Structure 1
Amino acid sequence: MATVTKVYKLESCSFYMTVLNFGKKFPQALSQFKRCNVLVIGNTGVGKSTLISSLFQIPISNSVTPAISDKPYTKPGLPIAVYDAPGLETGKKQREKVKQDIANFIKQKNQKEPEDQIHAVWYCVDSHVVRESQIEQQWIASIAKELPVIAVITRASGVEKDWLHSYLESIPSIRNVVPIMARRETTHHYDINSYGLDALLDATEDMLEEIAQKAILNTVNAKANLAFGWCRDGCTKVLASQFLPISILKKTTASGLQVWMFADISKSFGYQFERTLLTELCAVSVGAVGFDNFIEEALKNLPGIDYNNIQTVKDVLFHLTTRLEHAAGTLPFKEQLVEMLSGLGDCKLVSGLPILSCLTAITTTLATGFLAVTYIETMKTYKKAEYEGQPTPELKEVFVEQMQQLMGFIRQLQGGGWSPSFVN
Structure 2
Amino acid sequence: MKFSDNKYNMIQDILEKTEAEIEKMNPVNILIAGKTGVGKSTLINNVFRENLADTGIGKPVTKHLRRISKEGIPIVLYDTRGLELNPKVQKDVKNEIFDLVKQNKQTRDAVHAVYYCIQANSSRIEETEIDLIREISSVLPVILVLTQSIGKPAEEFNTYLENLNLPVAAVQNIMAEPYEITEDYVIPAFGLKELIDKTLQLIPKEAHDAFMNAQHADIERKAKAARRWASRYVATTFGVGFAPIPFSDASVLIPMQVTLLAHITAIFGISMDKSTIVSLIAAVGGTGSATMIGKTFVANAFKFIPGAGTLIGGLISGTTASIVTSALGLSYIEVLSIIAVKEREGESIDLGLIERLMRSQFKKNIKLNRKELKTKDLEFEGDEALNDAYASYQEMEEDTQSASRAQKTSRALSKFVSRHNPFNKKK
Query: TM-score normalised by the shorter chain: which range applies?
Result: 0.3 to 0.5
More relative contact order in 1 or in 2 (CA 8 Å, sep 6+)?
2
More helix by share: 2
Q: Work out which of the two has the higher radius of gyration on C-alpha atoms and give 1 or 2.
A: 1
